[in-house]
Amino acid sequence: MNDSLSIILPVRNAEATLAPQVHDLLDLLPDLTTQFEIVVVDDGSTDHTVDLVREMARQYPQLTLISHSESRGRDSAVKSGLASARGSTLLVQEDRAAISPTMLRRLWSLRHDRGIVMARTQQRPGLIDEEILDRLTTWGQALRNLAKRASSGGIQMIRRDAAQSLAGSNPSSARCTTEPTAHPSRRSSSLPTTNGPHS
């Protein structure tokens, strides 16, 4: 599954906005690869988000639901998604905005660059709110810790080996072949946004 792709969508109370986003992804992703999945991680929603995802999953086998019985926070939802995702390339949605098709394609184009462990889109100055900055700081620290053993925006691409380290998953229990452990000299990459839609 060298060109397999998992998109992780951590959500909470997203009943009103999730269906259009999933349908947009289902339209776009077959242009990138035939081997893809969309992993929706519900973090203790109190609306009908879980019911909505279950209904869509009956229609679209590419859709997987992970559900937390109570809210554990976005970082925990991302870790649950990373631990479950099967793709060799993982994309994580980092905010509620719709994922930009342009940015998604640009990140996907980097998947065979062995020098890149992680890459993310980058919003224009002044468009990142404080909550997202806090989240990026947390992820940045996790990457720094990873870099010591081996070095985060709208959507982020992660190699499977790095994701397993961040999620604390057991490589032997992974459901698809893992890649070699990230090397300290590998870099992360940021992509500037265009003047079009931002994610």
The domain spans of the chain are: 5-192
Distance, in Å, from the CA atom of 159 to the CA atom of 112, rounded to the nearest integer, reads 10
Q: What is the pLDDT of residue 180?
A: 32
Which pLDDT score is estimated for 92?
A: 92
Provide the pLDDT for residue 121: 66
Q: Which CATH class is domain 5-192?
A: alpha beta
User: What pLDDT, on the 0 to 100 scale, is given for residue 68?
Assistant: 96
Distance of CA 195 to the CA centre of its chain: 23
pLDDT at 111: 86
What pTM was computed for the model? Answer: 0.65
Distance CA 164, CA 112 (A): 18
The pLDDT value recorded for residue 119 is 78
Q: Which pLDDT does position 149 carry in this prediction?
A: 54
pLDDT given at position 14 = 94
Q: What is the pLDDT along the chain (199 residues), one digit of tens a residue?
A: 468 999 999 999 999 999 999 999 999 999 999 999 999 999 999 999 999 999 999 999 999 999 999 999 999 999 999 999 999 999 998 877 778 888 889 889 988 887 777 777 655 444 455 556 566 677 777 776 665 554 344 677 877 776 666 656 443 333 332 223 333 344 444 444 444 444 3
pLDDT at 120: 75
In angstroms, the CA 194 to CA 198 distance is: 8
